[in-house]
Amino acid sequence: MTLIDPADTSAPRSYALRGLALLATASMVVSISVLALPLSAKAAESAAVHPSATHPSVVVPAVAAGKLAAQGCTASGTMVSCDLYAMEGTTSMLGGAPINIWGFSSTGVAGSATAPGPLLVVNQGDTVSVTLHNQIAGQQVSLTFPGQPTTAFAAGSLSAAAEETGIGSADPAKTYTFTASRAGTFIYEAGHTANGTRQVAMGLAGALVVRSSDGSAYGPPATGYPTTSYDDDAVVVLSEIDPALNAAPATFDMRKFAPAYRLINGKPFPSTDLISTDQGHTVLLRYANVGSQSHSMSLLGGDQTQVAQDGHAMNYAEAEVAMAVEPGATADTLVTMPSGPESKVALFEAAGRLDNNGQTTADPVSFAFRGLRTFLDTA
């Protein structure tokens, strides 16, 4: 069988897409064939938890992964305060050598910075104040919250110079405030300073979720429009790492940015965390692309319905085979899990690189088709 290289612009588009689909299917067929076993094959180990495995007439209530709780901040009524410390740190990709990052921490404790930064979850209507503390030597850092009308308290100005803070500056912390008036999925990231672009690429970005008051994703719909109700939700933060940038962030030529790793919530497959749910549940996938490249996310054996883009609910939901999430953008999709046997549904990037830094299997030596990938797990 000959597969057309999707990067070959001389090949017809339909052949290129067919090649990608075949690669993706080949990479996951073993996982799906094993993971989608009938429940009876697992009865011995799960009968205590699932009595219906041995007594089909017994109905066992689903144990939901549930909805996001408020987190990342301290609340006093509707006044919410959050701290973000911009710090240097390290991460490791697939057991390799440590890679330097610039990340955010909610505590400022050495070694606590993560890229992406902490998830911030607040309630619709909250007045949110986020204080930025900069601990990265040689860097002026500011914050921006796309979709939120923020104000920098300290200087009373929205200019980048007024918002930024640095080591040893007269005012080492800056506070931003906004009213979370609209429910939805958003991002926060390093702002528009001279090095803002490379700061984001180094990891100074994260996800912000504003929960609606009625428990749905985007509140009660207008008459005649679809609801955005769901059972479980998961934040899927997409990003990349180019080790060459991380090795020399101050001097790296950003025009040469070429990611070797593609990450979900800061982790490459197979280190990615599973998304827990249950049979028949509706899952809200909250995509937030804090990276520098577009990512097209698809489900192998499942369908997605897009209900929002950039924190704006859509009047007309759209069925998506592959949900394209652009850099700096967010998107929300609903997925209905199958009923029946326990199973895992693969969530993966349908276009682009299907490996992480040329990772190969041991025996026989071949590329390990992985890249951006995790699973929605009903077990």
Q: Supply the pLDDT for residue 161.
A: 53
Sort strands 344-349 and 295-300 into parallel, antiparallel or unpaired: antiparallel
Residues 221 and 275 in one domain: no
Mean pLDDT by 10 residues, the chain (379 residues): 38 37 39 33 35 37 74 96 96 89 96 97 96 92 89 45 64 88 95 91 97 91 82 96 96 94 93 92 97 94 92 92 95 93 89 77 68 89
Residues 215 and 288 in one domain: no
Residues 82 and 215 in one domain: yes
User: Residue 324: inside a domain, yes or no?
Assistant: yes
Q: Supply the pLDDT for residue 49.
A: 37
Residues 110 and 126 in one domain: yes
What is the domain count for the chain? Answer: 2
Residues 190 and 299 in one domain: no
Q: Supply the pLDDT for residue 192.
A: 85
CATH number at residue 265: 2.60.40.420
Q: Kindly write down the DSSP assignment for every residue of 280-314, as one continuous string.
A: T-EEEEEEEE-SSS-EEEEEET--EEEEEETTEEE
Residues 83 and 220 in one domain: yes
Residues 169 and 137 in one domain: yes
Containing structural domain, residue 281? 13-44+237-245+253-377
Which of 232, 261, 281 is where one domain is finished? 232
User: Residue 110: inside a domain, yes or no?
Assistant: yes
User: Residue 69: inside a domain, yes or no?
Assistant: no
- Round to whole Å and give the CA distance between 124 and 218: 10
User: Residue 241: inside a domain, yes or no?
Assistant: yes
Tell whether the torsion through CA atoms of 215, 217, 222 and 224 is positive or negative.
Answer: negative
Q: Supply the pLDDT for residue 63.
A: 54
Residues 339 and 365 in one domain: yes
Residues 81 and 115 in one domain: yes
